[in-house]
Amino acid sequence: MQDKSKDKPIHGISVISLTPFTDDGTVDTQSLRSLLDFYLAAGVHGVTLLGIMGEANKVTERERRTIIDTAVKQVGGRVPVTVGCSAAGTHQAAEFAREAEMAGADAIMVAPPQNQRNLNLVLEHYRRISEACTLPLVIQDEPTTTGVMLPPDFFSRAVKEVPTARYVKIEESPTIMKVSRIREATEGKLGLFGGLGGMYFYEELERGAIGIMTGFAYPEILVQVYEQFMSGMRAQARRYFYQYLPLIRFEAQLGVTGVAIRKETYKLRGAIASSYVRPPAPAVDRQTLNELADLVQFLGLENI
């Protein structure tokens, strides 16, 4: 079993990084470095690469290595870097995990293989990845994309049978109930992160989540909520969170549209050069962009 004393704990806002592209669809490493600096200046407590928001399913294996190497070097150990290593097959996911470890990542995140309903096989998938890589494992509970429902007792088995399992990122709605059920089933042995764009972040913290993994384009807002909450200023944290919930709700639109909205926002904020989303992807219409600009202005965020 892995020596847990060597883990770099993950907590707070582990922002799901976008993968910036140029207008012709090439991975834009300069914008990636700029974006990572933007995240760090916002006070995030960690960075997660190659998640759904990072368009992980649209990059080549060579591009994966470029993205990981660029990010690990740019972050420079200032916060933990988690790398998404989800794949259709166990051997592929294990190889992704080994590569992430060799590149200097601090943790890996893996979703179940898509549409695999046999949970014994899903658990075996995680066991084999754990054998291939010593990094702490974040189990990504994401039924909308994977088609796999992971009940709370699955995580109680994972605690016992997957040596590197340390965390869960919960995307099943409503996340707040799932936080409580997994905590109870595992006796608090897994660190729980919320998701779903941050829509239930305050409630997730109230239920015992240790943070959130999301690509929300104003991460400093979530940082402020987390730090107020952890400092015991819960009323202030709740008020601040609810103040910006309309923007969180607007951004958290499912599917590729959510990626495009966030890229447009980060481009407006000067963090990336292009809002290009790799195809197949629907375009964001002008009305949506106008609604976004109107909401940002309404909340007083246009100069931030």
Alpha carbon of 272 to those of 40, 78, 121, 267: distances in Å? 14, 21, 40, 5
Q: What is the pLDDT of residue 2?
A: 40
**CB contact at 8 A, 16 and 50:** no
pLDDT of residue 233: 98
- Domains, the chain, in order of start with CATH, read 9-298 (3.20.20.70)
Whole-angstrom Cα distance, residue 139 to residue 237?
A: 27
pLDDT at 173: 78
Contact indicator for 21, 59 with CB cutoff of 8 Å = no
- Establish whether 213 is an annotated binding residue: yes
Residue 6, pLDDT score: 54
Low-confidence ranges of the chain (pLDDT < 50): 1-5, 256
Give the whole-angstrom CA distance, residue 159 versus residue 136: 12
Q: What is the pLDDT of residue 257?
A: 65
Q: What is the pLDDT of residues 154-206, one digit of tens each?
A: 999 999 999 999 999 999 877 899 999 999 999 999 999 998 889 999 999 99
